[in-house]
Structure 1
Amino acid sequence: MTEPFIRNHQYNHIKKQTQILQHAQTTVTDQKVIEAVRCSTEFEVIEAFPDATDNQMQILKGISELKTPEDCEEYLSSLEPYLMAFPHVTEKQIRKLFPKNKKLKMPNLSTLAGQSLTYLSWVDISTNKKFIIYELNGKIIGVEGRYTIANKDNTCSLCKGHGKVALFTAKSKSRPANSSPDYYKAVGNYMCVDSDECNEHITDVAYLEKFIRSVIGS
């Protein structure tokens, strides 16, 4: 049996491609155009899994056979057994990630839907801090920073969705050679106020990983 191999953001990407295909099939009458969209969506899905095995590839290629909304639902449901869960983290592990926060507010770990998470995040309103946990190259990384809700809607740098965002600003550990002891660099980005909603829409982790690396200095 094929082991889970689809991460949350990849599953979101697949869902997006099924929506594009379904939209074409319900709004376009030219079969050549529909076939072009069908090939494009299959390519987009396969492209998101450069290291897929032959068995995994066969599972993913099912998107090329979809014709009705019911087909799409069945296809997406068939992928659920292959969804990878977010790494299990304990309260003890989280405290080790943020050792300077002696009164760290903890997320409710018992209610987490691990298969629907690309990153774990929560906000401590009392300190105006946001905390992010992400698995980078097999290692669990914790990033914290200031959290300021924007006055108007904007585009989230992680999921590219437009809506309510907050500016998340973190101190970077990266230091230029021969920098003074007082050197300070902050990196910030707009992110969805609702991280659960962000996790539902994120289809690419390149920017998230770039941001985390800029903070941890790797």
Structure 2
Amino acid sequence: MNGPFIRNHQYNFIKKQIGYLQRTCQTVSDRKVVEAVRSSTEFKIKELFPDSEGIQGELFGNIPALQTAEDFEQYHRSLESYMTNFPQVTEKQIRKLFHKNKKLPIPDLTIDYRYLTYLGWISISTGKLFLVYPLDGQIVGIEGKFTPTNKKGVCFLCNKHEELALFTAVSKSRPAHSSPDYYKAVGNYLCMDSQECNKNITDVTALERFIQDVLK
């Protein structure tokens, strides 16, 4: 594979690992320790792409050669050219995803889609949070209530310490023979600022599980 292949969360993961290696190279004098971290870094990154070949293999094979600050800077820049775009969505598509919401606010769509793992935005006036994500090749949308916590905590999506909100969505599933009043709420704490969350997220497991819990 020679075209773009790195998704935003994978890019964040690689940056995190390469940053740790760079700090080790700059602060640790023991060569064995440095090489152990270098080997671990290369292994963890390659685990993301088990079938690495072509440009992928060449790109990750360059990790053992990273030594100077300039080397690391050039490596970071080289990664960006292999990032895939989040599927670009239009206002019409978003309105279709949330067709029951007649006063749907539309987020800014003039953004760099490479740096999106999910598209998220809030409506302060209605206390709603909206989330769009490509799940199993299909663009899906989740709408739910958000309640600011007015304090920092660990986001369940990116695992970073940020300003949080409780996001609660009603599951679409209904058990057989359930009463008309039955509903199941699915909730968790996530970043108030989805842009920061997108900069930090390194794994989509929790995000996809949450969406599946709501949609199934």
TM-score, normalisation: structure 2: 0.96
Distance 1:63 1:174 in 2: 47
Paired amino acid for 1:179? S
Distance 2:115 2:33 in 1: 33
| 1:53 equivalenced with 2:74 (yes/no) | no
Whether contact under 8 Å (1:136, 1:209) holds in the other structure is: yes
Q: Supply the AA of the counterpart residue of 1:203.
A: T
Conservation of the 8 A alpha-carbon contact between 1:129 and 1:146: yes
**3-state SS in 2 of match to 1:93:** helix
How many residues end up aligned between the 2 structures? 216
User: AA paired with 2:67?
Assistant: K
Distance of 1:64 and 1:144 partners within structure 2: 45
Letter in 1 for 2:142: V
Counterpart in 1 of 2:190?
Answer: 191
TM-score, structure 1 normalization: 0.95
- CA distance in 2: counterparts of 1:136 and 1:77, whole angstroms: 28
Aligned partner of 1:6 in structure 2 is 6
Contact 2:127–2:145 under 8 Å retained in 1: yes
* Residue 131 of structure 2: aligned partner: 132
Corresponding position of 2:166: 167
1:62 positional shift = 1.8
Aligned AA (2:74): E
Contact 1:46 1:61 in 2 (8 A): no
1: CA distance, partners of 2:184 / 2:213: 10
Residues 27 and 197 of structure 1: CA distance in aligned 2, closer, same or farther (over 3 Å): same
Root-mean-square deviation (CA, aligned residues, Å) is: 1.3
Tell me the alpha carbon deviations over residues 177-218 of structure 1, each in whole angstroms, 9 at most, x when there is no partner: 33223221101111111110110010100110011101111x
CA distance in structure 1 between the partners assigned to 2:129 and 2:69 by the alignment = 39
CA deviations on 1:22-49 (whole Å, 9 max, x unpaired) are 1111221111111000000001111112
Displacement of 1:175 in angstroms is 2.5
**What's the secondary structure of 1:164's corresponding residue?**
strand
- CA displacement at 1:80 relative to structure 2: 1.4
* 1:74 corresponding residue in structure 2: 74
- 2:149 match: 150
Contact 2:86 2:113 in 1 (8 A): yes
Write the distance in 2 (CA, Å) between the matches of 1:53 and 1:136: 25
